[in-house]
DNA sequence: TCGCTGAATGTATGCGCTTACACTCAATGT
DNA sequence: ACATTGAGTGTAAGCGCATACATTCAGCGA
């Protein structure tokens, strides 16, 4: 009744457990006839090797971990049972049902990239998305199961990371390097935002753009603002003289910020947002107020999410390669796994400034 | 240099390894003072327990697995290095750049649901997306690492599943039950499509809708067609007299099918598609041809993906709760883990018919 | 005072595998 | 004919933990 083990297979096939193990791990070290015989026994018994035992003996798990905190509000799914309602409900779905399902695109894509690269390199991928529950616990749990781990920067206390990194390589995703000695993978936030801002100044004569930033503790936001400031400074515009509004990366928040701007009466020529979601929120408000984009106000975002490509007008933005980020994180882990003592890597992936109708006028 | 083990912690703290283990697993069995002392040592040494060893000794891994085949074409990411190009590229992004990134929403959402439920129940989640590489190998690999596994129906040979299910519980996602004895979770495809079709017949007087189906081997498609047929039959319309076109669930394919319909000259009053992607493809063509939806032709989909909520006109569809599917799959695994010999479960989640402008006329 | 009880801790075994090393024996060289 | 070789296989020692069972000892009643 219990699942068969190497011993069962060995006994059944009339060989030693070492031979069974070799058939599975290093088939060439076994004579072909023996190999076939053992494989047949494996099939017959329904033998599936225990990865736990293998990992223990081999001193490596063959699994990589990915941890992200759960930003999205939607996580609070009801505990209610979902299997007792009617099989079908008919709903007349009106247009303004709003932002039903804010897909955590960022995470989905990074995950997809990691998953892809991990399996390609012969590793499995363990994912954990932090929720209400203690992140430290979850991260520790993952850490014990994997050979290496990627973590979104700033989502876990440094002390914990230090602790864990004594056991396995840690790669920080999307944050800039701080005092730490971890490997990092991130995108060219500064250059991207600088280039976009320069474009607004040089091509559209914008002199006093308004920046709508994200949460104070977001390293990405900080870098983007830095790029914004650099562009202004290079054009002899004093960044400090311009208003710097702060949102929380959400569309809703950005709407109220935009309402505030409109109410204040003095609309800027351009609103530069630190991410796409907020830019979309600004577009929502301007559209409702009948303010033309880009004729009256130019709006730009950052991230390159799909929704920004489907908005009206389509959103000018800086696209960051999220799938590549995930892949790069995996590569970094494996690279360090290979050479534990190489100096910390800090990889910057390139971004693309995508000029679309929210800044360039319609086609 | 090597990561510390229980032995190190025990020696350092002056206790036995049993006590260390107990401090971590059953803190209440240890005197408070001892516990604190051991925990301090754990922190000092940077001890992270090996899940491999624990799983081996405890005979359970605390991990659940999720396997999906990789439908999407985008998987073929270039092997090229991505870290040597310029940090920023400026691109004038024209509107018709087409369907750049067809997000595998289905999988993303099921994954999110599984991930959520798994951690909530104290399990980690291992994900595998089948790609070019041998699915059997990947599935076996996952199987050895987990306590239970969810697999998209039809994506893995039954023989393999039988093999594996001798070791761990298997849950099939989204397929109907066939001859097998596995647990299943799926949605009310039949009822959903039947209700939608009845609506078209009863409210819009449609008498000869055209059905655009998916791949022959898709169980979901089969069920949806079944619902379509039931609705017709109940209204004394002979389904066999109507054309049944077959696509592959892709938007592109659906476009050429729609082109064919238009070219043939005789447009049906309604086109019922087996998924949203294809419905969107049909909308593409009708829009280009200047055919009005829903005035001239009604179009409906199935799935409830985000893109269908952002199309013009918005797509009438049947929404299936993908996140819940993932959650239900996890619950089913745990339920069976609990009672290995209960009869096979077959859970059907409810769906929602969403009536929108592609069938109801604009607001 | 002494045996008894139970809380706290230690001892020892095994979980299922990998792998260094030992061994066997047919093929080869001298 | 005999030593040498190496391919193929077996033996046995862990890997790091959980846990049944043994042990210790403080507190207790009689």
What is the mean pLDDT of the segment spanning A292-303? 95
A256 has a pLDDT exceeding 60: yes
Contacts of A263 (CB under 8 A, 6+ apart): none
Chain B residues inside the 8 Å CB shell of A223: none
CA–CA min distance B51, chain A (Å)? 5
Residue A209 is predicted with a pLDDT of 96
Chain A residues inside the 8 Å CB shell of B52: 51-53, 55-56, 61, 145
CA–CA min distance A42, chain B (Å)? 10
> Per mean pLDDT, which range of A136-140, A194-198, A284-288, B300-304 is the poorest?
A136-140
Contacts of B2 (CB under 8 A, 6+ apart): none
Residue A79's pLDDT band, with cuts at 50, 70 and 90, is: very low
CA–CA min distance B254, chain A (Å)? 20
Do residues B287 and B311 lie in contact, with contact meaning Cβ atoms separated by under 8 Å? no
Do residues B227 and B192 lie in contact, with contact meaning Cβ atoms separated by under 8 Å? yes
Q: If we measure between CA atoms, which residue out of A224, A197, A201, A198 comes closest to residue A213?
A: A224
Do residues B145 and A124 lie in contact, with contact meaning Cβ atoms separated by under 8 Å? yes
B69 has a pLDDT exceeding 90: no
Residue B73's pLDDT band, with cuts at 50, 70 and 90, is: very low
Identify the three-state secondary structure at position A346.
strand
| Cβ <8 Å between A126 and B124 | yes
Residue B83 is predicted with a pLDDT of 47
Q: Which domains does chain A have, with CATH numbers?
A: 6-37 (no CATH), 63-76+103-187+322-350 (3.40.50.2300), 189-321+353-360 (3.40.50.2300)
> Per mean pLDDT, which range of A35-44, A94-103, A246-255, B239-248 is the poorest?
A94-103
CA B142, CA B124: separation in Å to the nearest integer? Answer: 13
Chain A residues inside the 8 Å CB shell of B55: 52
Q: Print burial letters for B266-287: b (CB count within 10 Å at least 16), e (below 16).
A: ebbbbbbbbbbbbbbbbbbbbe
Q: What percent of chain A has pLDDT over 70?
A: 91
To 10 degrees, what angle do helices B51-58 and A135-145 make?
80
| Cβ <8 Å between A125 and B124 | no
Q: What confidence tens digit (pLDDT) does each residue in B200-251 have?
A: 999 999 999 999 999 988 889 999 999 999 999 999 999 999 999 999 988 8
Is the CB of B49 less than 7 A from some atom of nucleic acid strand D?
Answer: yes
| Cβ <8 Å between B363 and A127 | no
> Per mean pLDDT, which range of A33-47, A95-109, A232-246, B259-273 is the poorest?
A95-109
CA–CA min distance B209, chain A (Å)? 20
Q: What confidence tens digit (pLDDT) does each residue in B76-96 have?
A: 444 444 445 677 888 787 765
Element (H, E) at A321: none
Instruction: Give the residue on B whose Cα is nearest the Cα of A5.
Output: B167
- Determine the distance between B8 (CA) and C14 (C1') in angstroms: 21
Do residues B155 and B139 lie in contact, with contact meaning Cβ atoms separated by under 8 Å? no
What is the mean pLDDT of the segment spanning A155-171? 92
What is the Cα gyration radius of chain A?
26
Identify the three-state secondary structure at position A60.
coil
Residue B79 is predicted with a pLDDT of 47
Residue A311's pLDDT band, with cuts at 50, 70 and 90, is: confident
* CA B156 to the chain's CA centroid: 15
> Per mean pLDDT, which range of B63-72, B155-164, B325-334 is the poorest?
B63-72
CA B92, CA B130: separation in Å to the nearest integer? Answer: 35
Chain A residues inside the 8 Å CB shell of B348: 83, 87
| Cβ <8 Å between A144 and B87 | no
Contacts of A179 (CB under 8 A, 6+ apart): none
CA B13, CA B7: separation in Å to the nearest integer? Answer: 10
CA B248, CA A332: separation in Å to the nearest integer? Answer: 38
Residue A164 is predicted with a pLDDT of 93
Beta bridge partners of A354: A317, B91
Give the helix ranges, DSSP H, for chain A: 6-13, 17-25, 32-45, 51-58, 105-120, 135-145, 158-165, 189-204, 219-234, 251-264, 276-289, 307-310, 322-338, 357-360
Q: Which of residues 56-75 of B touch strand D (CB under 7 A)?
A: 56-58
CA B63, CA B159: separation in Å to the nearest integer? Answer: 23
B101 has a pLDDT exceeding 60: no
- Determine the distance between B16 (CA) and D17 (C1') in angstroms: 13
Q: If we measure between CA atoms, which residue out of A9, A7, A343 comes closest to residue A181?
A: A343
Contacts of A150 (CB under 8 A, 6+ apart): A64, A65, A66, A67, A114, A170, A171, A172, A173, A326, A329, A330, A332, A333
Task: Indicate the burial class of B358 (C-beta count within 10 angstroms; 0-12, 13-18, 19 or more).
Answer: buried
| Cβ <8 Å between B91 and A355 | yes
Using C1' positions and the CA of A6, the closest nucleotide is: C16
């Amino acid at each position: 009744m219990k699942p068969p083990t190497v011993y069962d297979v060995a006994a059944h096939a009339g060989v030693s457990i070492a031979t069974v193990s070799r058939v599975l791990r290093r088939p060439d070290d076994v004579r072909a006839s023996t190999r076939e015989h053992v494989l047949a026994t494996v099939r017959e018994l329904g033998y599936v090797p225990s990865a736990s035992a293998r990992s223990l003996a081999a001193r490596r798990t063959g699994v990589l971990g990915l941890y992200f905190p759960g930003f999205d509000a939607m996580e609070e799914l009801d505990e209610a049972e979902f299997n007792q309602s009617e099989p079908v409900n008919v709903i007349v779905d009106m247009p303004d049902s709003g932002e039903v399902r804010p897909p955590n695109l960022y995470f989905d894509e990074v995950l997809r990239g990691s998953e892809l690269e991990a399996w390609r390199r012969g590793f499995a991928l363990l994912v954990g998305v932090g929720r209400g529950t203690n992140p430290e616990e979850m991260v520790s749990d993952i850490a014990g199961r994997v050979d290496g781990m990627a973590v979104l920067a700033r989502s876990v206390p440094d002390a914990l990371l230090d602790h864990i990194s004594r056991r396995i390589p840690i790669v920080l995703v999307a944050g800039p390097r701080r005092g730490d000695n971890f490997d990092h993978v991130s995108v060219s936030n500064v250059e991207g935002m600088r280039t976009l801002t320069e474009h607004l100044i040089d091509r559209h004569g914008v002199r006093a753009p308004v920046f709508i930033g994200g949460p104070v503790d977001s390293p990405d936001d900080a870098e983007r603002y830095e790029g914004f400031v650099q562009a202004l400074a290079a054009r002899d515009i004093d960044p400090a003289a311009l208003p710097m509004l702060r949102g929380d990366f959400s569309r809703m928040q950005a709407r109220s910020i935009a309402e505030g701007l409109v109410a204040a009466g003095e609309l800027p020529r351009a609103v530069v947002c630190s991410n796409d979601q907020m830019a979309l929120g600004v577009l929502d408000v301007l559209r409702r107020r009948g303010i033309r984009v880009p004729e009256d106000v130019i709006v730009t975002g950052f991230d390159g999410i799909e929704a920004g490509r489907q908005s009206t007008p389509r959103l000018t933005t800086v696209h960051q390669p999220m799938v590549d980020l995930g892949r790069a994180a995996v590569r970094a882990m494996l690279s360090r796994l290979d050479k534990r003592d190489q100096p910390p890597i800090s990889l910057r992936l390139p971004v693309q400034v995508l000029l679309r109708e929210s800044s360039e006028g319609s086609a």
